[in-house]
């Protein structure tokens, strides 16, 4: 167990710190400890049933949603989940449908994690994390059928809408997936398309500029994502921050639709937590002692996700 640097040792080793007040030295001591021993730092907090940002283990960060701020886009949304900020813009264009799917349009979601949102992302081609998250977002939107691609058809086998859903993270503080899915859903609800008609004789699609724009035909069931992480096989942390994320050995993401129907469950790593409650009373032939205290945290997470979804829906319906 590492000994935290004391304020006295810090100021004695580096004489140029002597101008700092006692309070500032304490803060410096804490942040040095956080940098050098992140796991122990988090353990110390969790022993007191609180996380470094002051939340309880099952508390979520505040969510803010703003729509329609990008006037050049067909729809847009800005989501802030604590410090994690994601902007999503929607652009539509017209293309020819695929040969084997002549009545379907296209939905192309993408998430970009540029270097400006966090020091862990370097400039250059999209990192693996951005690609994996984009893929998961695509799978979620397809599985939930939130925007059925058949509603994007203008003329069968001739013209259909392509909806580009581009999200950019401008500040990364963990849990980008939840924030991005919320931003994409909000942006789609904000999107309006011009009325398009296909002219058979000219083989062209025309959009009426003066006609009122049409909203997208979205499904009634809104998919919302809730992510959790398991720390040290002991504590389930809801909505992990970027400090907590690398310390978690397992993550669970639950995506729920209306009526609490499960759209997606993704669990990476073991979901078992050691429950320090009562010892099991059956005469078990289990040789390992702590085994009968292990509990599957997946049902707990699904239950917590249900409650959270109600809160998120309230926020979403306000905009």
Q: Is 282 in the site for another protein (CB under 8 A)?
A: no
Nearer to another protein, 142 or 214 (CB): 142
Residues of span 166-185 touching another protein by CB under 8 A: none
**Smallest gap, in angstroms, from Cβ of residue 11 to another protein?**
30
Does residue 285 bind another protein (CB under 8 A)? yes
- In angstroms, the CA 244 to CA 237 distance is 9
Nearer to another protein, 170 or 302 (CB): 302
State how beta strands 159-171 and 106-112 pair. parallel
291 lies in the binding site for another protein (CB under 8 A): yes
The C-alpha atoms of residue 85 and residue 91 are separated, in whole angstroms, by 20
Question: Which of 66, 118, 145, 195: binder of another protein (CB under 8 A)?
Answer: 145
Alpha helices in the chain (DSSP H): 7-13, 22-36, 38-47, 128-144, 176-190, 298-318
Contact map string, positions 232 to 271, toward another protein, x by CB under 8 A: -----------------x-------xxx-xxxxxxxxxxx
Q: Determine whether 305 is exposed, middle or buried from the number of CB atoms within 10 Å of its CB (0-12, 13-18, 19+).
A: buried
Counting contacts by CB under 8 A, is residue 49 touching another protein?
no
Q: Does residue number 309 form part of the binding site for another protein (CB under 8 A)?
A: no
**Which residue from 108, 107, 132, 136 is spatially nearest to 255, judged by alpha carbons?**
136
We find the least distance from the C-beta atom of residue 178 to another protein, in angstroms, to be: 17
44 is an interface residue for another protein by CB under 8 A: no
Buried b / exposed e over 230-268, threshold 16 CB at 10 Å, is bbebebbbbbbbbbbbebbebbbbbbbbeeeeebbeebe
* CA pair distance 165, 88, nearest whole angstrom: 7
**Which tokens hold the place of 191?**
């999107």
Does residue number 219 form part of the binding site for another protein (CB under 8 A)?
A: no
Here's the x/- map for another protein, 55-94, by CB under 8 A: it reads as: ----------------------------------------
Q: How near is the Cβ of 134 to another protein at its closest, in Å? A: 6
Residues in contact with another protein by the rule CB under 8 A: 128, 131-132, 134-136, 139-140, 142-145, 221, 249, 257-259, 261-272, 285-287, 291, 298-299, 302
């Amino acid at each position: 167990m590492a000994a935290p640097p004391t304020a006295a040792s810090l100021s004695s080793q580096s004489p140029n710190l002597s101008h700092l007040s006692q309070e500032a030295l304490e803060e410096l001591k804490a942040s040095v400890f956080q940098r050098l021993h992140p796991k122990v730092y988090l353990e110390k907090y969790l022993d007191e049933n609180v996380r470094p940002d002051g939340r309880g283990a099952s508390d979520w960060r505040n969510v803010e949603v703003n729509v329609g701020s990008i006037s050049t886009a067909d729809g847009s949304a800005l989501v802030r989940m604590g410090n994690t900020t994601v902007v999503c813009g929607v652009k539509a264009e017209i293309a020819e449908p695929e040969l084997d799917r002549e009545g379907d349009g296209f939905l192309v979601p993408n998430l970009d994690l540029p270097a400006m949102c966090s020091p862990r992302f370097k400039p250059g081609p999209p990192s693996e994390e951005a690609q994996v998250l984009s893929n998961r977002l695509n799978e979620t939107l397809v599985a939930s059928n939130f925007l059925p691609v058949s509603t994007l058809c203008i003329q069968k086998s001739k013209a259909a809408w392509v909806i580009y859903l581009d999200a950019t993270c401008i500040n990364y503080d963990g849990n980008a997936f939840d924030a991005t899915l919320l931003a994409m859903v909000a942006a789609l609800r904000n999107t309006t398309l011009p009325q398009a008609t296909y002219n058979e004789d000219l083989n062209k699609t025309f959009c009426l500029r003066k006609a009122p724009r049409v909203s997208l035909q979205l499904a009634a069931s809104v998919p919302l994502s809730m992510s959790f992480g398991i720390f040290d096989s002991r504590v389930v942390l809801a909505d992990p921050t970027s400090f907590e994320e690398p310390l978690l050995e397992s993550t669970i993401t639950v995506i729920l639709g209306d009526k609490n129907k499960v759209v997606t469950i993704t669990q990476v790593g073991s979901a078992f937590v050691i429950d320090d409650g009562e010892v099991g009373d059956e005469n078990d032939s289990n040789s390992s002692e702590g085994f009968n205290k292990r509990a599957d945290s997946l049902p707990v997470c699904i239950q917590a996700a249900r409650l959270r979804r109600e809160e998120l829906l309230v926020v979403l319906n306000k905009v």
